Every structure is written in C-alpha cells, then in structure tokens.
Amino acid sequence: MLTKEEAHTIISDINEEAHSMAWDSWSEADEIGDSDDEEDWGRAEEAREDASYEQAGYFRSEFNALPQEEQDAIWHYAQTDEDFQEDFKAWYGQEEYDEYVSGLDE
C-alpha cells in the first residue's frame, strides 16, 4: 500500500493538473473580479464556484483513472487522516466525497 506521503503527492499532482485544465475558467473569474463595478463581484464569485466545480470534475476523472490499488489507498487515508481528508475533500468535491463515503456505509 502507498504511504500517506506518496498518496498525498499523487492527489496533489492530480489537483495541479486539474487546475491547469480549468485554467481558462479561473482566469475568466479573475478578470470579472478585477472589475471596478460592484455588480461584477457577485458574478466573479459565481464564476469562481463554477471554476472550482469544473476543476473538481477534472480531479475526479484523473483520480478514477488511477490503478484501483492507488485509489483504495487514497480513500483509506481520506477516511483515517484528518489533514489528508481536508485536502482530498476540497479537491474531489465536498458533495461527491460525502456521497461516496455514505455509499460505503450502506
């Protein structure tokens, strides 16, 4: 099984790749946020949420392409280590993480 450090390196690398894949959306949100018009600030926040959701989708796609044994090790650490879980949840998607974990309990 992977060590926690190896598992964290994998998910960190996946997150960097996912961020790169969603770069255009993040850039667009930043451009809107740089506006002097206060009405644009709310739109910028929505655009950031959309970019974050897009990035999480790319993260999940890349994660699901990992060998099953690596996925299993990562899920193990995500459920047993609070710091690891915090990063993984943020990158995987909070709702999707909760759905997956609740499915394990059934």
pLDDT in tens, 72-96: 999 999 999 999 999 999 999 999 9
Question: Is the pTM here over 0.75, yes or no?
Answer: yes
Amino acid, res. 82: E
Contact 8, 87 (CB under 8 A): yes
Sequence ranges of the domains in the chain: 4-105
> Which one is predicted more confidently, 104 or 20?
20
Query: How many CB atoms are located within 10 Å of the residue 103 CB?
Result: 8
Whose CA is closest to 10, among 64, 53, 81, 79? 64
Q: What is the pLDDT of residue 106?
A: 62
Indicate whether 30 pLDDT > 80. Answer: yes
Report pLDDT digits (tens) over 39-74. 778 888 898 999 999 999 999 999 999 999 999 999
